[in-house]
Amino acid sequence: MAFWDASALVPLCVNEATSRSSHAYLGKFAPVVWWGSLVEVHSAIFRLHKGKEITDAGMKGALARLRRLSEEWKEILPGDAIRELAVRLLSEHSLRAADSLQPAASLTWCRQRPSRRNFICADHKLAQAVHLAGFSVVLLSGSAVQA
């Protein structure tokens, strides 16, 4: 298992530069995700469609892939502990509020023992923050869409 940021889930649903490597990691690491990731990936898909970067059929396929993927992942639900960790992370790193929830959820998942745990993402700032928290980071570079 590995924690997957929404930015790493998008290439599993939409064909982009990092889709091949993202699918390869999916074969190795079952996804653990933050509760809000489903909304974030939907947002990315809808933005791509509205920007005419994917067709109607492309959007329909992406949403179907997301639905299948979400049936298989483990989801970290919101709670006071995640909110407190997110606030702490905001004081330690240059993250936006919503972005602090991903590492807070990942730290909750591993009971704040991130050593030898993988965090997969395409967001450089987030990658730096989770690396400093102690995760092994798999950074998907060249991603076209941030979730």
Fill in the amino acid letter for 93. H
147 falls within a domain = no
pTM of the predicted model as reported, rounded to 2 decimal places: 0.92
For the domain that residue 22 is a member of, what is the CATH number?
A: 3.40.50.1010
116 falls within a domain = yes
Containing domain of residue 52, as a range? 2-139
Tally of domains in the chain: 1
**pLDDT tens digits, residue range 96-125?**
999 999 999 999 999 999 999 999 999 999
Distances (CA, A) of 75 to 1, 2, 6, 12, 123: 12, 12, 12, 17, 20
56 falls within a domain = yes
18 falls within a domain = yes
144 falls within a domain = no
Residue carrying the six token digits 């995700």: 33
The alpha carbon of residue 139 and the mean position of all alpha carbons in its chain are separated, in whole angstroms, by 11
Spatial separation of the C-alpha atoms in residues 62 and 46, rounded to whole Å: 10
